[in-house]
Amino acid sequence: MFKRSDESLIEKAIGGDAKAWQQLVSRYQAPLYYFGLRLLGSPDDARDLLQDVLIVLCRNLAQYRGDSSFKSWLFGIANYRAMDMLRKRKTTTEFTDEHDFYDDEAPSFEQQLYGQHTQRLVQQQLRHLPPEQRLVVELRFYQQFTFDEIADQLALSSNTIKSRFYAALDKLRTQLELADVEQSANF
Amino acid sequence: MSNSQQIFEAWLAGKITASECEQQLEPDTEWYSRFQTAQLLQRQAKAPFFAPVPEVDTMSIFAQQWQRPAKSSNWWPKLSVAFSVLALVVSLSPLELQMQDSGLTLIWRGGQQMQQQQLETLLAGYRKEQQDYIQTQLQSTQQQQASQLILLKDYLTEQQTKERRTDMLELVEYLNQQRQSDWHYWQENYQPSQARLDLGASPNAQNR
């Protein structure tokens, strides 16, 4: 069966079709929640972000003009809200390893295959990046947006996005090396 | 933009493979380590994520924002209006429903009568039109006559005034001519006699 386009679902939802709205929500619910989880580091905050973004989306559905992809437009809203939440927290030091959001009940085959240990380590180090850099890494790798799309979403130049991206890569490399040295020393 | 950056971005955009990128970036330590970190992140991003997604109820907001109350499916008012219109049409049209000998007959009321009625209506209209036309013509003629009479009166008054002036001038001329003629007559007949009389009466003339 053919997948209906986002634009078609939006059009139907604006006309009052609840099923179309439900389909649109279920299409982006998980990506938005995981985005919040990785960026904010807490399931509660991620849930708040998800709820907030979906409410804003519902109220402003008719404002989507199709200039960019719907996903890009939606993440534009999510970025703004997530950065707002991070700004309210003021510092990134609030992130602690207490917020371990990996589900222990997940299948062990996949956990072993993709190395949950490395995954956790990278996630922990990502949380120590400045929010602006973390956001760019999230949007580039996890959401697969191009530099131009990210620049468009954040209303910044493409060069600024690239410089944040490369700075994030450099910093993450240093952090991962340090973490590796610490872990080796512990053993 | 450096050459290494171009190679790195080409790999990110999927234009070259990871092995091609690795091979070309190997001499550049900075870009090679960036490439490795990026590869690690890319693998991370592709790995499945198993955190359960919470359910968020957005249906109430959606219903409030975009759903309108369902239209009433009550068809009684529509049916009532339809029957009223039908009754009006039947009463205005020449259709007649007659009950005869325990049967119903639908008849078209008198065709000839209707034609006659239409003819009378047309004739009455024509008559009215003609009367209006005659009335208008009459009024127009009366107005025209009244204005012509006024013009005639003005003309006559003017002519009369002119004639009187001419008569007076002729009279004055006649009187002047009479006076002139009297003067000549006096000069010719009475002036020499007067002169003689005046000469006879003076003392110088007596002495001579």
pTM for the complete prediction?
0.58
Min distance A121 CA to chain B CA atoms (Å)? 11
- B144 within some domain: yes
Provide the 3-class DSSP secondary structure of residue B106.
strand
User: What confidence tier does A184 reach under pLDDT thresholds 50, 70, 90?
Assistant: low
pLDDT band at A149 (very low <50, low <70, confident <90, very high): very high
Containing structural domain, residue B177: 120-191
Percent of chain B clearing pLDDT 70 (strictly above):
93
Candidates B51, B48, B54; CA nearest to A104 is: B51
Q: Give the per-residue pLDDT at A92.
A: 47
Contact B41 A172 (CB under 8 A): yes
Are the beta carbons of A51 and B50 separated by less than 8 Å? no
Domain boundaries defined on chain A? 1-96, 107-187
According to the CATH classification, is domain A1-96 in 3.40.718.10? no
- Whether the pLDDT of residue A65 is over 80: the answer is yes
Percent of chain B with pLDDT over 90: 49
d(CA A112, CA A51): 32
Q: Would the pLDDT of A165 be above 90?
A: yes
Please indicate, yes or no, if residue B74 is contained in any of the structural domains.
no
Helices (H), B109-190: 111-189
pLDDT attached to residue B98? 73
DSSP A65-103: -SSS-HHHHHHHHHHHHHHHHHHHH--GGG--TT-----
Inter-chain CB proximity A141 and B62 less than 8 Å: no
Name every chain B residue with its beta carbon within 8 A of the beta carbon of A43.
Answer: 51, 54
What DSSP string runs through B3-57? HHHHHHHHHHTTSS-HHHHHHHHTT-HHHHHHHHHHHHHHHHHHS---PPPPP--
CATH of A107-187, one of 1.10.10.10, 1.10.357.10, 1.25.40.80, 1.10.8.80: 1.10.10.10
First to last CA, chain B: 163
Please say whether the beta carbons of A70 and A153 come within 8 A: no
Mean pLDDT of A72-79: 93
What average pLDDT does range A154-174 have in this prediction?
94
* Residues A133-157, mean pLDDT to the nearest whole number: 93
pLDDT cut 90: percent of chain A above it = 52
Task: Please tell me the predicted confidence (pLDDT) of residue B105.
Answer: 76
Find the closest chain A residue to B45 by CA distance: A142
CATH topology match: A1-96 vs A107-187 = no
Q: Which residues, at least 6 apart from B39, have a Cβ–Cβ distance to it below 8 Å?
A: B18
User: Which residues 87-146 in chain A show a CB within 8 A of chain B?
Assistant: 101-103, 105-107, 110, 114, 118-119, 122-123, 137, 140-142, 144, 146
Cβ contact B41–A106 (<8 Å): no
Residue B204 lies in a domain: no
What is the predicted pLDDT for the residue at A98? 45
Mean pLDDT of B183-192: 88
Once rounded to an integer, what is the mean pLDDT over residues B2-25? Answer: 91
Structural domain count, chain B: 2
* pLDDT tens per residue across span B110-157: 667 778 888 999 999 999 999 999 999 999 999 999 999 999 999 999
The nearest alpha carbon in chain B to A113 belongs to B47
Better pLDDT: B201 or A51: A51
On chain A, the residues whose CB falls within 8 A of the CB of B36 are: 173
From the list A29, A28, A33, A9, the residue with the least C-alpha distance to A19 is A9
Per-residue pLDDT of B53-93, as tens digits, reads 888 888 888 888 887 766 666 788 888 899 999 888 878 87
Whether the ipTM is more than 0.90: the answer is no
Instruction: Identify from B6, B8, B44 which residue to disrupt to test chain A contact, counting A C-beta atoms within 10 A and taking the largest count.
Output: B44
Is B98 part of any domain?
no
- Flag whether B112 is in a domain: no
